[in-house]
Amino acid sequence: MQTSLPPCVLFEDEHLLVVNKPAGWNTHAPSPYAGEGIYDWLKHREPRWASLAIIHRLDKETSGVMVFGKTALANRSLTEQFTSRAVRKKYLLLTDHKLKSREFTVRSKLVRVGERYATGATGELAETRFKLLDSALRTPHSALVEASPLTGRTHQIRVHAAENGFPILGDTLYGGAPWARVCLHAAELNFKHPATGEAATFNAPVDFAADARSALRAAIVEPEATDAFRSLHGASDGWPGWYVERLGDYLLSQSEGELTEEQRRRLEKIPGAKGAYHKLLNRQVRKTNAAQASPKLVAGVAAPERFTICENGVKYELSFNEGYSVGLFLDQRDNRRRLLTGHIAADFKLQTSDSRPELLNCFAYTCGFSVCAALAGARTTSLDLSKKYLEWGKRNFALNELDPAQHDFIYGDTFDWLKRLAKKQRAFDVVVLDPPTFSQSKEGGAFRAEKDYGRLVSAALPVLKPGGVLFASTNAADWPPEDFLAQVERAIRAARRKIAQQHYAPQPPDFPVSRAEPAYLKTVWLRVA
């Protein structure tokens, strides 16, 4: 399937991928189960990016131009150019302090001191040229400065600015005044093209006053294909306990309490929404009826009883009137895309044969995974304990011009039906396991993810073809990913089967992970021999 480029991509050819990294996104994942960095997200997104290589890095809170290599020639050439200081880099920074002169150069040796770097008697030499600019980007209380690092040391510009009396706005680690973001941006990158030897220059504008949270979403969401995403994610975006999603023309706000006046004002600043709803996050949701659990209109005009959003070019029906859930879990967007494109990760294709794949979607809910697989040519079986949701799923099929009659929809308990399908010797190329954290049925009894996930995997393996792909997911927030994976792997070993390929996929970048807002979603794709 041909897909469009994410908005963060500035340029691509056979050898190079140049991007404009937004502030608040790591260059690469800081740990195995943390949120993906821009490098990881891109590397696993397209087959042609599977060999993507990091040539240089930007700090998480620094935005701007980055180049990745796609070929051995590009990697070798760019590494040599960076090492020999042939690459010219220009950064822009804002400070609320005065500079000692309009132009000057700072040279010092940098050493690490805890989380910071500082000038020391030993360490690596760092050299930065600074130049005060006259620009409309300045404000009455700030100065815009151009910084040209002649070396590439970690935190170099930040240290040199702070130690020379003009810390960067927002860079509180180095004494900068509080700001919505660190006001440091890689504005320009100049180097010789690895293949042609011609000069190549790439630029990216910046607006330090713009909302950095919105800029992050704008970098990853293709507006012509997707109008549903998380626009504000709790403490990672500076609002602990509060979450806001864009759902087409409407906003869905979620927290454990009623909206505060400050939150209402923040909602009003989100452009383009016809109406806004608020949902109380309630741990006792099963004890409430649909009307009590449904989101309530708090601003603008009411949504129709059913309305449509678009994600990766796929249409889904949503509703604010059906209870706690509105019809789609946005944190699975990238995983639905994997089924849509048939590309799981670098060197991990969904299908290894040309035959029409068969997919079993357990706990199917409104059949989002099934719709994507069907659009990619698979024959799907959707299994759920709710007839209402299966009918909703059929409408999602029809929305995308897919004939529901060409696919199976099974009402019933997942454990019961996995036994039945195994007895009938049904076998699937892909089995999707995305259960609720807790569920209960007459046939299967209570299911608790942390306690019973291994039992679920064991039940699913008999219907998974040798060499088939198992997708396992949970949003049990307090369950460590290592323990989740261990339980899945134990069940596979106990069935005397082996994992041939594995890709762990955390929540997407619009659900940013931070110390204050740890990752909660855990998903893994496994090819099981």
On whether the CB atoms of residues 201 and 282 are closer than 8 A, the answer is no
pLDDT digits (tens, 9 = 90+) for 438-457: 887 766 678 889 999 999 99
**Structural domain includes residue 214:** no
Q: Mark which of 203, 229, 253 sits at the end of a domain.
A: 203
Q: How confident is the model at residue 134 (pLDDT cuts 50, 70, 90)?
A: confident
Q: What's phi and psi for 203, nearest 5 deg?
A: -125, 155
Residue type, 20: N
Q: What is the DSSP letter of 51?
A: T
Task: Please check whether residues 151 and 270 belong to one and the same domain.
Answer: no
pLDDT value at position 287? Answer: 56
Helix (H) or strand (E) holding 307: strand 307-311
pLDDT digits (tens, 9 = 90+) for 255-283: 999 999 999 999 998 999 999 999 999 76
Give the SS3 label for residue 119: strand
The torsion of the CA quartet 225, 231, 235, 241, rounded to 10 degrees, works out to -110
CATH code for position 360 = 3.40.50.150
Residue 142 half-sphere exposure toward CB, CA atoms < 13 A:
22
Task: Please check whether residues 183 and 50 belong to one and the same domain.
Answer: yes
Task: Please check whether residues 391 and 452 belong to one and the same domain.
Answer: yes
Mean pLDDT across the stretch 239-261?
97
284: number of Cβ within 10 Å:
7
Mean pLDDT across the stretch 75-98?
96
- Judge whether residue 239 has pLDDT over 70: yes
d(CA 86, CA 71) in angstroms, rounded, equals 20
pLDDT value at position 137? Answer: 58
pLDDT digits (tens, 9 = 90+) for 395-451: 999 999 999 999 999 999 999 999 999 999 999 999 999 999 888 776 667 888 999
Helix orientation angle between 333-341 and 368-375, rounded to the nearest 10 degrees: 20
pLDDT digits (tens, 9 = 90+) for 306-340: 999 999 999 999 999 998 899 999 999 999 999 99
Residues ≥6 apart with Cβ < 8 Å to 105: 127, 128, 129, 130
**Structural domain includes residue 296:** yes
On whether the CB atoms of residues 463 and 431 are closer than 8 A, the answer is yes
Which tokens hold the place of 266? 């923040």
**Structural domain includes residue 3:** no
Closest to 435 measured CA to CA, from 422, 450, 421, 416 = 450
pLDDT above 90 covers a percentage of the chain that reads: 89
d(CA 264, CA 182) in angstroms, rounded, equals 26
pLDDT digits (tens, 9 = 90+) for 287-305: 566 777 899 999 999 999 9
Task: Please check whether residues 350 and 428 belong to one and the same domain.
Answer: yes
pLDDT value at position 291? Answer: 73
pLDDT value at position 354? Answer: 83
pLDDT value at position 440? Answer: 74
d(CA 345, CA 341) in angstroms, rounded, equals 11
Mean pLDDT across the stretch 60-67?
97
**Structural domain includes residue 497:** yes
CA 151 from chain centre, in angstroms, equals 31
Angle at 305 between CA 299 and CA 308, to 5 degrees: 90
Tracing tokens 């290894």 back to the chain, one arrives at 352
Mean pLDDT across the stretch 3-25?
95
Task: Please check whether residues 163 and 247 belong to one and the same domain.
Answer: no
Task: Please check whether residues 372 and 443 belong to one and the same domain.
Answer: yes
438 exposure class (CB count in 10 Å sphere: 0-12, 13-18, 19+):
middle
pLDDT value at position 293? Answer: 84
Task: Please check whether residues 245 and 146 belong to one and the same domain.
Answer: no
**Structural domain includes residue 425:** yes
pLDDT digits (tens, 9 = 90+) for 477-529: 999 999 999 999 999 999 999 999 999 999 999 999 999 999 999 999 999 99
pLDDT above 70 covers a percentage of the chain that reads: 96
pLDDT value at position 282? Answer: 78
Active-site entry in 40, 59, 331, 334: 59
Task: Please check whether residues 168 and 303 belong to one and the same domain.
Answer: no
pLDDT value at position 445? Answer: 76
- If one counts the domains in the chain, the total is 3
Catalytic site residue 408? no
User: Over the chain, what is the mean pLDDT?
Assistant: 94
**Structural domain includes residue 4:** no
pLDDT value at position 393? Answer: 98
Domain enclosing residue 112, as ranges: 9-203
Alpha helices in 400-523 (DSSP H): 414-423, 449-460, 481-494
d(CA 63, CA 383) in angstroms, rounded, equals 44
Task: Please check whether residues 171 and 250 belong to one and the same domain.
Answer: no
**Structural domain includes residue 316:** no
**Structural domain includes residue 188:** yes
Task: Please check whether residues 381 and 436 belong to one and the same domain.
Answer: yes
CATH code for position 107 = 3.30.2350.10
Task: Please check whether residues 66 and 130 belong to one and the same domain.
Answer: yes
pLDDT digits (tens, 9 = 90+) for 50-60: 999 999 999 99
In angstroms and rounded to an integer, the radius of gyration of the C-alpha atoms of the chain is: 25
Task: Please check whether residues 227 and 197 belong to one and the same domain.
Answer: no
Angle at 480 between CA 475 and CA 486, to 5 degrees: 100
d(CA 361, CA 470) in angstroms, rounded, equals 10
Q: What is the DSSP letter of 327?
A: S
pLDDT value at position 135? Answer: 66
pLDDT value at position 283? Answer: 66
DSSP string, 468-479: EEEEEEE--TTS
pTM of the model: 0.94
d(CA 157, CA 160) in angstroms, rounded, equals 5
Helix (H) or strand (E) holding 340: helix 333-341
